[in-house]
Structure 1
Amino acid sequence: MKKVSHIILHKGNTVNVIDSSKTVFEALEIMISKNIGALVIYQDGEYKGLLTERDYARKVAIMGKNSHDTLVSEIMQTNPASVKFEDTIEYCMEIMSDKHIRYLPVLADNHVVGLVSMGDLVRFIIEDQKHTINHLQNFISGGM
């Protein structure tokens, strides 16, 4: 079974972070500049949660709040679902599907060591299936 560690090994473990005391506008600037949909939140060097574009849409934009005046700490997800290196890809898909989420922090010793998105999972599964198909085609053509 393929594990979270396989995805992190393939995509890298870059984690984009922001302090919970920053404004939502500052968080959005980072997301736009990095072309990402989520940031990991830290406060005083300690992991606190996650902020996604969806959080912004639901808790700032639709509520008529101002992103320049609203702090990350006011809208971030605290205690979001997370996974570990040894968890399976299937387990990640199950969590994301059940909870209707798109991002899973990868934790080790209560520190975020990676972030897995739904897109990461889909790309990994497609590549894995392509590899399996190629292997089977080579097996079949080699066996004749």
Structure 2
Amino acid sequence: MLVTEILKGKGHAVWSVAPDLPLAEACAELERRSVGAVIVCDGDRVVGVLSERDVVRAIARGGEAVLSRPVSDYMTADVVFAAPGETVGVLMQRMTDRRIRHLPVLADGRLNGVISIGDVVKCQIDEATREADSLRTYIAAG
């Protein structure tokens, strides 16, 4: 399955925050949207990803004082992207190798969605289920 097919099913919604937003407000956005990460955008340009993991590390290192600091101080600035034509297998390998759970999708240089590890796992489960059903049908047909 390709990234474009996953996005057709889940949609292209992207929750983003500005790099100068206080970390506490970004945390509120994570909670409000029930997501594990937000994309950090400066205008139309992706400049980072802020994940729950980034927030936990920031608080562990700097205490609650970090909550008033800007997102840009704690986001992951080395953003790893996905492309619409990539396969789930490629994404799974990239996420595993880089130990990341969210990949912003760029199409023609523009942000077009986000693929999470949950989306990848769901896709793999759906594919395995379809394969098992096909095998059952084949075996039953004799």
Relative to the length of structure 2, the TM-score reads: 0.92
Distance 1:77 1:12 in 2: 24
Query: 1:64 — aligned with what?
Result: 62
CA contact (8 A) 2:49 2:79 kept: yes
Give matches, 1:1-144, under 5 Å. 2-58=1-57, 60-65=58-63, 66-142=65-141, 144=142
Secondary structure at 1:31's aligned position in 2? helix
TM-score normalised to structure 1 length:
0.91
Q: Alpha-carbon deviation of 1:67?
A: 4.0
Note the residue ranges of structure 2 that are not aligned, 5 or more in a row. Answer: none
Compute the displacement of 1:45 (Å). Answer: 3.0
Task: State the alpha-carbon separation in 2 of the partners of residues 92 and 44 from structure 1.
Answer: 26
Cα distance, 1:96 vs structure 2 = 0.8
Q: Do the aligned partners of 1:27 and 1:72 also contact (CA within 8 Å) in 2?
A: yes
The structure-2 alpha-carbon separation of the partners of 1:81 and 1:8, relative to structure 1 and needing over 3 Å to count, comes to same
- The one-letter code sitting in structure 2 at the alignment partner of 1:42 is C
Q: CA deviation at 1:47?
A: 1.9
Structure 1: tracts of 5 or more residues without a match: none
Amino acid of the structure 2 residue aligned with 1:51? L
For the aligned residue pairs, the C-alpha RMSD in angstroms reads 1.3
Give the length in aligned residue pairs.
141
After TM superposition, the runs of 4+ consecutive aligned structure 1 residues lying more than 6 A away are none
Q: Deviations over 1:23-63 (max 9, x none)?
A: 111111011111100001111332212111111111x2111
In the alignment, is the contact (CA less than 8 A) between 2:106 and 2:113 conserved in 1?
yes
Q: CA deviation at 1:68?
A: 3.3
CA–CA separation in structure 2 for the residues paired with 1:35 and 1:139: 41
1:109 CA drift (Å): 2.6
SS in 2 for 1:122: helix
Percent identity, aligned pairs only, is 28
Q: What secondary structure is seen at the aligned counterpart in 2 of 1:77?
A: coil
